[in-house]
């Protein structure tokens, strides 16, 4: 045991000193922070000037031109960075030729959009026809705004015709709603913002993501550590002091420490950020206990698989082809997380809970999503997972023992099977 | 007492018999040389002693214990393929290997500087391993091997890659360890090293032991009864002496092969007939023995 701890200690210290580790540790929160910052900056309208949008209008009803001009002018005053230019194309000979001319201008690029208001738009079944020609994605949001101007103009005119009081209508349509979270005690009610609701959705994902990163991130270190020892021929010196099993156990233990360090720091950062934003994430101590149990078992399983893979390869490049199928399995819950959060007690969630490699991720997601996971289910999933850990570790230890001393050609599946049968 | 015992040990890799029914007993306190041409099975044998690979059949004991994992703390092993953590400092590498060989912090604080001093690396203690030259790397590797003050030291090709100065340094340490009654096994195919250091020689070829004895025995048994003489005057009479079987002339020197007769008798016979300027009883070098025996065993097999 003393030796396992020594191996673990070195593994931990030397990994924590690598650039990959430090960059990985810091970059993830930084990247998330940067994304949030830019999202806010852009939606805050701080972007620079954008090209003008030229809209041609043919008003067959001949009643709305003024209203539309007013709404365009209002918009242009409020948004100096982007101007909507209105170009009236009034009927000269007949409606059809005017429309054809408008479309030609659209094709030539003289107009960005061309709108035709039908003659009976106010009282009949007429339509607003909004023409575009190969619209740029950058203009799509502007088109939505412009469409709304036209609809609003038609709508307002219709109220006047029908003699409906607009103020009355506004009063009738305004139904206030407040979202409140009942606190633990009376008098501690809190107003719940939209962000709070989204956070409620994101917490389970965050937990699952933590487990995923905790396993996969440390997995990279496991592979590079084994490959280094193999490539620099340290293995034989090591094996003169420790048994292969002690070496493997020490590595797994040391990198478990790395994983726990990363997760503790990230969780603390996320918790601090959430508190700062005034979000109540509602994590129970019970959830934390399960989280730790599932993480440790999941990590053991994953790292055992990786010691097996690492020991039969000579270069990081070689490991990548073997990692592909493994990673595909782990990505399933990452892709399906939204569905799993929405129905944490559904058949899919239940079934995936018993597929050992993804059990930790799915179970933590379900528990954090606040579903009524049966206690039996938790117990059974932990048992299945633990059994898988034992089986895979047994196999990995055998592969590791032989594999780490092999150089040159990577052994085929048949040869590895033979190693497993060896005593 | 034997430090290491091998009994009928066999190991095959596919069709190749790397080690074929090998039995060796290494007495405690001796220096045992494993000699043989490249690919003879020396490294495989040593790896099996270290339990790094397992024999297909046969029994291996170290310090009369079949469970090698239990006695690893008392062994120092330097593999043929040298390797250390390149990114760690010299001091830390040495301390780490000391720690996994069971040394506590107090002992390490004393032994790490001692051994760095001993192999002339004290000035490099805080450099990274990757900054060392090949020779320095090799010396550090040796320090790693013996940091735990092992009773049994196993060195696979310890002298390869060292300059003559460092070879002497290493030889002196090995001789010192022999004086402390430690058991040393080393493999080499450079014969004059073995000749200077070994008490016992095991000669392996194609996985089989072809010679296993003390160096003294080997020399006396392999003595080819050859004498080299230099005489003044006519030397024609030498061929006619009864104990002489062949004479080969090399300038003034004569290489004379004798029957079983005592070399003293031959000298007397010479002194009566001529003036003797030089007289040397030729002891075959290990190199010659090696070439002869390996050649003979190869000839037998083919």
Across the interface, whether the CB atoms of A3 and B102 are under 8 A apart is answered yes
Q: For residue B239, what pLDDT is reported?
A: 81
Distance to chain A for B83, nearest Cα, Å: 4
Fold classified for A53-165: D-Maltodextrin-Binding Protein; domain 2 (3.40.190)
From residue B167, alpha-carbon distances to A63, A268, B158, B179, B266 in Å are: 106, 56, 9, 18, 40
Q: What's the pLDDT score for residue A280?
A: 64
Per-residue model confidence as pLDDT tens digits over B129-140 = 999 998 899 999
Among the listed residues A333, A338, A335, the one whose alpha carbon sits nearest the alpha carbon of residue A351? A333
Q: How many CB atoms lie within 10 A of CB A344?
A: 23
Chain B residues within 8 A of A243 when measuring between CB atoms? 69
Phi, psi dihedrals of residue A284, rounded to the nearest 5°: -90, 155
- pLDDT score recorded for residue B114: 92
Interface subset of B 79-98, CB within 8 angstroms of A: 79, 81-88, 96-97
> Do residue A239 and residue B50 have CB atoms under 8 angstroms apart?
yes
- Phi then psi for residue B6, to 5 deg, are -115, 130
Residue A397 tokens read as 């230890």
Of the candidates B47, B84, B99, the beta carbon closest to that of A234 is on B84
DSSP class of residue A234 equals -
Domains of chain B, each with CATH number or no CATH: 2-220 (3.40.50.300), 224-282 (3.30.70)
Query: What is the DSSP annotation of A281-315?
Result: ----HHHHHHHHHHHHHHHHHHHHHHHHHHHH-SS
Find the closest chain A residue to B78 by CA distance: A237
Task: Provide ipTM, 2 decimals.
Answer: 0.77
Its pTM stands at 0.72
Domain boundaries, chain A: 53-165, 194-421
Q: Output the CA torsion sign for B120, B122, B127, B129.
A: positive
Collapsing DSSP states into helix, strand and coil, what is residue B296? helix
- Among B83, B100, B102, the residue with its CB nearest the CB of A233 is B83
Residue in B closest to A3 by C-alpha: B100
Between residues 181 and 240 of chain B, which touch chain A (CB distance below 8 Å)?
none
What are the 10-residue block averages of pLDDT along chain A, 423 residues in total? Answer: 88 87 83 72 61 88 85 87 86 83 88 89 87 84 88 88 86 84 66 67 80 84 88 86 89 90 84 71 78 90 91 87 87 83 83 88 84 83 93 90 79 81 70
Q: What are the Cα distances from residue A96, in Å, to A93, A180, A365, B156?
A: 9, 57, 60, 97
A244 to chain B, minimum CA–CA distance in Å? Answer: 9
**DSSP codes of every residue in B26-76:** EETT-EEEEE-STTSSHHHHHHHHTTSS--SEEEEEETTBS-HHHHGGGEE
User: CB of A228 within 8 Å of any CB in chain B?
Assistant: yes
Comparing alpha-carbon positions, the chain B residue that sits nearest to A228 is B85
C-alpha distances (whole Å) from A201 to each of A196, A204, A365, B44, B109 are 9, 7, 10, 60, 55
CB A340 within 8 A of CB A252: no
Give the residue on A whose Cα is nearest the Cα of B73: A241
Q: Which residues of chain B have pLDDT under 70?
A: 222-224, 260-261, 301-302
**Chain A residues with beta carbon closer than 8 angstroms to that of B98:** none
Which residues of B are less than 8 Å from A233 in CB distance? Answer: 79, 81-83
Between the two ends of chain A, the Cα-to-Cα distance in Å is: 23
CA distance B1 to B66: 15
Contact of A5 with chain B, judged by CB distance below 8 Å, is answered with no
Whether residues A240 and B77 touch (CB distance < 8 A) is answered with yes
Cβ separation A3–B97 shorter than 8 A: no
Distance from CA of B43 to the nearest CA of A (A): 12
Phi then psi dihedrals of residue B27, to 5 deg? -70, 145
Kindly write down the DSSP assignment for every residue of A150-210, as one continuous string: HHHHHHHHHHHHHT--HHHHHHHH------EE--SSTT--EEPPHHHHHHHHHHHHHHHHH
């Amino acid at each position: 045991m003393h030796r396992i701890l020594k191996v673990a200690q070195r593994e931990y210290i030397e990994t924590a000193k690598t650039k990959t580790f430090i960059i990985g540790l810091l970059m993830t929160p930084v990247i998330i922070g940067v994304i949030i910052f830019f999202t806010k900056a852009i939606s805050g309208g701080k972007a620079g000037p954008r090209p003008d949008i030229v809209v041609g209008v043919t008003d067959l009803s001949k009643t709305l031109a003024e209203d539309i001009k007013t709404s365009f002018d209002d918009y242009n005053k409020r948004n100096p960075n982007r101007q909507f230019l209105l170009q009236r194309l009034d009927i000269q000979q007949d409606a059809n030729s005017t429309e054809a001319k408008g479309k030609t201008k659209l094709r030539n690029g003289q107009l960005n959009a061309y709108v035709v208001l039908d003659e009976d738009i106010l009282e009949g079944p007429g339509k607003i026809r909004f023409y575009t020609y190969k619209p740029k994605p950058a203009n799509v949001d502007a088109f939505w705004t412009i469409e709304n101007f036209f609809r609003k103009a038609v709508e307002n005119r219709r109220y006047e015709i029908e003699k409906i009081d607009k103020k009355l209508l506004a009063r009738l349509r305004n139904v206030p709603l407040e979202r409140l979270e009942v606190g633990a005690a009376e008098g501690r009610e809190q107003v719940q913002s939209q962000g709070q609701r989204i956070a409620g959705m994101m917490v389970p994902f965050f937990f699952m993501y933590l487990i995923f990163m905790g396993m996969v991130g440390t997995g990279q270190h496991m592979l590079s550590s084994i490959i280094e020892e193999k490539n620099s021929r340290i293995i034989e010196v090591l094996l003169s002091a420790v048994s292969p099993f002690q070496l493997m156990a020490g590595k797994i233990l040391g990198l478990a420490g790395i994983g726990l360090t990363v997760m503790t720091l990230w969780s603390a950062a996320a918790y601090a950020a959430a508190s700062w934003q005034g979000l109540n994430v509602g994590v129970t101590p019970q959830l934390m206990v399960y989280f730790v149990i599932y993480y440790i078992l999941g990590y053991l399983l994953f790292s055992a698989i990786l010691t097996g893979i690492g020991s039969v390869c000579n270069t990081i490049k070689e490991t990548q082809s073997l990692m592909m199928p493994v990673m595909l399995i782990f990505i399933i819950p990452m892709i399906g997380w939204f569905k799993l959060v929405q129905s944490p007690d559904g058949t899919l969630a239940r079934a995936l809970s018993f597929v050992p490699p993804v059990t930790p991720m799915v179970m933590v997601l379900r528990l954090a999503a606040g579903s009524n996971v049966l206690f039996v289910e938790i117990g059974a999933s932990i048992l299945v997972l633990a059994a898988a850990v034992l089986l895979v570790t047994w196999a990995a230890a055998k592969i590791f023992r032989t594999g780490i001393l092999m150089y040159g050609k990577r052994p085929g599946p048949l040869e590895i099977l033979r190693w497993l049968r060896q005593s | 007492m034997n430090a290491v015992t091998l009994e009928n040990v066999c190991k095959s890799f596919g069709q190749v018999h790397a080690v074929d029914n090998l039995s060796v007993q290494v007495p405690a306190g001796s220096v045992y040389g494993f000699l043989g041409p490249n690919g003879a099975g020396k490294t495989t044998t040593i790896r099996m002693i270290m339990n790094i690979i397992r024999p297909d059949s046969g029994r291996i004991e170290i310090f009369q214990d079949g469970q090698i994992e239990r006695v690893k703390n008392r062994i120092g092993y330097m593999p043929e393929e040298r390797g250390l953590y390149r990114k760690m400092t010299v001091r830390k590498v040495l301390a780490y290997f000391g720690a996994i060989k069971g040394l506590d912090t107090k002992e390490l604080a004393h032994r790490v500087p001692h051994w760095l001093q001993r192999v002339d690396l004290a000035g490099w203690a805080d450099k990274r391993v990757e900054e060392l030259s090949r020779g320095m790397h090799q010396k550090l590797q040796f320090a790693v091997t013996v940091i735990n003050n092992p009773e049994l030291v196993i060195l696979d090709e310890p002298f390869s890659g060292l300059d003559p100065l460092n070879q002497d340094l290493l030889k002196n340490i090995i001789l010192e360890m022999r004086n402390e009654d430690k058991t040393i096994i080393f493999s080499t195919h450079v014969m004059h090293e073995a000749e200077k250091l070994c008490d016992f020689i095991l000669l392996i070829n194609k996985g089989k032991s072809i010679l296993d004895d003390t160096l003294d025995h080997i020399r006396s048994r392999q003595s080819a009864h050859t004498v080299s003489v230099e005489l003044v005057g006519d030397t024609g009479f030498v061929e006619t002496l009864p104990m002489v079987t062949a004479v080969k002339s090399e300038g003034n020197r004569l290489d004379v092969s004798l029957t079983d007769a005592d070399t003293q008798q031959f000298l007397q016979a010479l002194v009566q007939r001529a003036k003797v300027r030089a007289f040397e009883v030729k002891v075959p070098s290990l190199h010659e023995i090696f070439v002869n025996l390996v050649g003979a065993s190869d000839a037998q097999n083919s």
